[in-house]
């Protein structure tokens, strides 16, 4: 079984939980996800199955869209509401205009500090391992891009704290928890994430995502890489097909940097790229 399956991840499941559940249902161990969602988060989780695991890196590099609910006046160790509360404030004198102005300052490229509770490795150890053992560590920063961010809900007071909801489109590697922390800082307060839904990853959206119930009831459809990759395709004849199956370096027969090659039955054979040692030739990048 080969293909891409888009799951609407429910709350309180890890991304690995979903991989295990779907893998058991589809009776395959050749399955993996293309971008972790925390247990608190819901929404689009893209799974690659069979030989489509080889293109996972092409799917993880895409932009992502999120809807997040923010609470002002609460700080936690995990930067979301599931964590231990470290501090509380009760200043709620913020206008819609002020919040919109602050959100706009985040558009573009920003340097973002990675959360202490994350799987990023420092010196061979995941950050959350340092955090759980109370070991001090300098948190790394990374440059990410916020393509769009906007307020999509009214302001409201819940349990003495101001809450509002944002929608944002961001680059690979952006931590929404960290973004929310920094929004709080710009507002001269503290903030934490209450809810998070990933609504899009690249061309995949909640509109074409399946629930676990759908999958259990066999009400799903796999997506083929040729229908989703932003790479030109070409169908080859039997003679060239045999050479491609053998992973041959060939005279260059395309103008693009990479091309997806299909057999006569419209099945993916390989992704070929320009040969770096001789740009008149091409070589396999991924074999299927």
CATH, residue 40:
3.30.2350.10
Q: What is the pLDDT of residues 188-203, one digit of tens each?
A: 999 999 999 999 999 9
Residue 285 burial (CB count, 10 A): 15
Is the domain of 68 the same as that of 169? yes
Percentage of the chain beyond pLDDT 70 is 100
Q: Measured between alpha carbons, how far apart are the two ends of the chain, in Å? A: 12
Is the domain of 163 the same as that of 241? no
Is the domain of 152 the same as that of 68? yes
For residues 36, 38, 40 and 44, what is the CA-based torsion angle, rounded to 10 degrees?
Answer: 0
Region 119-134: mean pLDDT is 84
Catalytic residue among 38, 80, 182, 263: 38
Region 219-235: mean pLDDT is 92
Q: Which CATH number is 235's domain given?
A: 2.30.130.10
- Give the count of domains, the chain: 3
Is the domain of 148 the same as that of 210? no
In degrees rounded to 5, what are phi and psi of residue 268?
-65, 130
285: helix, strand or coil: strand
Active site includes 257? no
Is the domain of 209 the same as that of 276? no
User: What integer best gives the mean pLDDT of the chain?
Assistant: 93
Indicate the residue among 185, 210, 226 that finishes a domain: 226
pLDDT, position 106: 97
Scanning the structure block, which residue is given the tokens 């790394």?
A: 140
Is the domain of 168 the same as that of 87? yes
pLDDT, position 163: 97
Statement: residue 138 has pLDDT above 90 = no
According to DSSP, the β-strands at 233-235 and 204-205 are: unpaired
18: nearest Cα among 191, 188, 280, 198: 198
Is the domain of 98 the same as that of 149? yes
Statement: residue 168 has pLDDT above 90 = yes
Is the domain of 250 the same as that of 178? no
Is the domain of 95 the same as that of 190? yes
Beta strand extents in the chain (DSSP E only): 3-9, 31-33, 42-49, 64-72, 74-76, 85-88, 108-113, 121-122, 125-126, 141-151, 156-158, 161-170, 191-201, 204-205, 233-235, 250-251, 258-262, 268-274, 281-287
Statement: residue 132 has pLDDT above 90 = no
Helix (H) or strand (E) holding 244: helix 238-245
Is the domain of 187 the same as that of 215? no
Is the domain of 79 the same as that of 33? no
Q: How confident is the model at residue 55 (pLDDT cuts 50, 70, 90)?
A: very high
Range of the domain at 186: 64-197
Is the domain of 152 the same as that of 264? no
Question: What is the DSSP-derived secondary structure letter of residue 107?
Answer: -
Region 175-196: mean pLDDT is 97
Q: How confident is the model at residue 86 (pLDDT cuts 50, 70, 90)?
A: very high
């Amino acid at each position: 079984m080969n293909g891409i399956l888009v799951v609407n991840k429910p709350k309180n499941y890890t991304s690995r939980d979903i991989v295990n559940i779907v893998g058991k249902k589809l009776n395959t161990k050749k399955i993996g996800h293309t971008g972790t969602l925390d247990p608190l988060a819901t929404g689009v989780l893209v799974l690659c199955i069979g030989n489509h695991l080889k293109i996972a890196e092409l799917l993880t590099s895409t932009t992502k869209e999120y809807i997040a609910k923010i609470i002002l006046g609460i700080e936690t160790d995990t930067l979301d509401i599931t964590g231990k509360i470290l501090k509380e404030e009760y200043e709620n004198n913020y206008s819609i205009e002020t919040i919109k102005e602050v959100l706009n300052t985040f558009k573009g490229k920003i340097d973002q500090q990675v959360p202490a509770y994350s799987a990023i490795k420092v010196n061979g150890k995941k950050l959350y391992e340092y955090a759980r053992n109370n070991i001090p560590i300098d948190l790394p920063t990374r440059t990410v891009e916020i393509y769009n961010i906007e307020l999509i809900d009214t302001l409201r007071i819940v349990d003495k704290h101001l809450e509002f909801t944002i929608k944002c489109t961001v680059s690979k590697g952006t931590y929404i928890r960290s973004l929310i922390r920094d929004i709080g800082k710009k507002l001269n307060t503290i903030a934490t994430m209450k809810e998070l839904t990933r609504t899009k990853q690249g061309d995949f959206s909640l509109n074409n995502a399946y629930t676990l119930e759908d999958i259990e009831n066999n009400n799903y459809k796999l997506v083929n890489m040729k229908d989703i990759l932003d790479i030109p395709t070409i169908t080859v004849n039997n003679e060239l097909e045999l050479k491609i199956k053998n992973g041959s370096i060939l005279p260059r027969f395309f103008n693009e940097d990479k091309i997806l090659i299909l057999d006569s039955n419209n099945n993916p054979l390989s992704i070929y790229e320009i040969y770096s040692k001789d740009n008149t030739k091409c070589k396999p990048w991924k074999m299927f």
